[in-house]
């Protein structure tokens, strides 16, 4: 299977350019599920990334219900987890800060059973790795599904050591996509993106992205591009490329690569997207 560069799909971003006469309802209404106790920030980061990449409406269902509003980003609508599907979202993301509680398990089951396009990240993937029923539901989903594992999560899904995934990354990403009938973003240096026919390699990015929350931001970017009309492979490849370019631009000002936060990356990815559309 020939590797193709993810940057080849950047022309697809021109679909995002907005006519003068539009409204927020045209740009996706997404639901994000996660944010258990001690991990609320993960869900907020995903939501902020989706917001800055252009999604029209964003509901966040937090498992830790103590937070009623994001004071830094009040545009995000925080609701009870059981209210997300009642909002009739166009797309779903589950996983950032989800945890592995009984409530998390039930939410994942509802998402896998839904007919909505779905992005799966973090503990959603760990729960799937543990439950054969979830694996079956994932394989048989009719709607678009994108999984975004880092190497350890990929190894759990494939039931092999992480070292094996890293030594055979192309085989791993191909196997995940074929085994679970989905699109796969295998994160890491030279992130790989695969559907069931092709593998794409991302060459942007650097070690400044080795910080907490960057995966949550990436999942939010994927969700945003998907919700605004890009295909699953376009959204996956362009998200990985823009996320990496954001870090590359930041590193030009900070050559030692130390201290890039996920919160900063949300804004930097927005800049990269708009630069690509000029």
Q: What is the CATH number of the domain that holds 239?
A: 3.40.1190.20
**pLDDT tens by residue, 136-156:** 999 999 999 999 999 999 999
Residues flagged as binding site for AMP: 187-191, 215
Residues flagged as binding site: 42, 97, 150, 187-191, 215-216
Return the pLDDT at 1. 58
Give Cα 165 to chain centroid, integer Å: 20
Task: Sheet containing 118-120: give its strands across.
Answer: 3-5, 199-201, 192-194, 183-186, 145-147, 118-120, 91-94, 29-34, 57-62, 77-79
User: Taking the CA atoms of the chain, what radius of gyration do you get in angstroms?
Assistant: 17
Output the CA–CA distances (angstroms, integers) from residue 278 to 47, 255, 275, in the order listed: 25, 26, 5
CB atoms within 10 A of CB 103: 14
pLDDT at 2 over 90: no
Tell me the H-state helices in the chain: 40-52, 102-113, 123-130, 132-139, 151-158, 162-167, 169-180, 214-227, 232-253, 262-276
**DSSP state for residue 19 in the 8-state scheme:** P
**pLDDT tens by residue, 220-232:** 999 999 999 999 9
Residues β-bridged to residue 78: 60
**Residue carrying the six token digits 């103590």:** 66
Confidence of residue 133 (pLDDT cuts 50, 70, 90): very high
**Host domain of residue 28:** 3-276
Residues β-bridged to residue 29: 57
Return the pLDDT at 242. 98
Asked if residues 52 and 78 have their Cβ atoms less than 8 Å apart, the reply is no
**pLDDT tens by residue, 55-103:** 999 999 999 999 999 999 999 999 999 999 999 999 999 999 999 999 9
3-class DSSP assignment, residue 6: helix
Tokens standing for 56? 């029209």
State how many domains the chain has.
Answer: 1
Return the pLDDT at 203. 95
pLDDT at 198 over 90: yes
Residues 6+ apart with CB under 8 A from 53: 220, 221, 224, 225, 269, 270, 273
Q: What is the pTM of this model?
A: 0.97
Return the pLDDT at 92. 98
* Backbone torsions φ then ψ of 67, nearest 5 degrees: -90, 125
- 152-191: string of b/e by CB count within 10 Å (b at 16+)? ebbbbbbeeeeeebbeebeebbbbbbeebebbbbbbbeeb
d(CA 30, CA 215): 18
∠ CA 233-176-36, nearest 5°, is 85
Tokens standing for 35? 């944010």
pLDDT at 175 over 80: yes
**pLDDT tens by residue, 241-258:** 999 999 999 999 999 999
Residues flagged as binding site for (6S)-NADPHX: 42, 97, 150, 216
């Amino acid at each position: 299977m020939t590797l193709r560069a993810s940057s080849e799909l950047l022309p697809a971003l021109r679909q995002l350019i907005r006519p003068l006469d539009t409204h927020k309802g045209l740009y996706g209404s997404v639901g994000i599920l996660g944010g258990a106790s001690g991990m609320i920030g993960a869900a907020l980061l995903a939501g902020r990334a989706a917001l800055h990449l252009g999604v029209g409406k964003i509901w966040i269902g937090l498992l830790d219900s103590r937070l009623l509003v994001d004071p830094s980003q009040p545009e995000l609508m925080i609701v009870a987890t059981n209210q997300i599907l009642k909002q009739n979202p166009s797309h779903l993301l589950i996983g950032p800060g989800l945890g592995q509680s009984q409530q998390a398990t039930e939410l994942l089951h509802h998402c896998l059973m839904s007919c909505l396009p779905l992005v799966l990240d973090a503990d959603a993937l760990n729960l799937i790795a543990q439950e054969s029923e979830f694996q079956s539901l994932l394989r048989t989903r009719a709607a678009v599904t994108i999984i975004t594992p880092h190497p350890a999560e990929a190894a759990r899904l494939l039931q092999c050591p992480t070292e094996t995934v890293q030594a055979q990354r192309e085989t791993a990403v191909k196997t995940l996509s074929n085994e679970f009938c989905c699109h796969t973003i295998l994160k890491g240096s030279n992130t790989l993106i695969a559907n069931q026919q092709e593998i794409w390699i991302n060459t942007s990015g650097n070690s400044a992205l080795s910080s907490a929350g960057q995966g949550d931001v990436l999942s939010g970017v994927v969700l945003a591009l998907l919700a605004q009309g890009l295909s699953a492979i376009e959204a996956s490849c362009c998200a990985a490329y823009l996320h990496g370019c954001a870090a590359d631009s930041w590193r030009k000002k900070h050559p030692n690569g130390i201290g890039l936060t996920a919160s900063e990356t949300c804004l930097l990815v927005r800049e990269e997207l708009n630069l690509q559309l000029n």
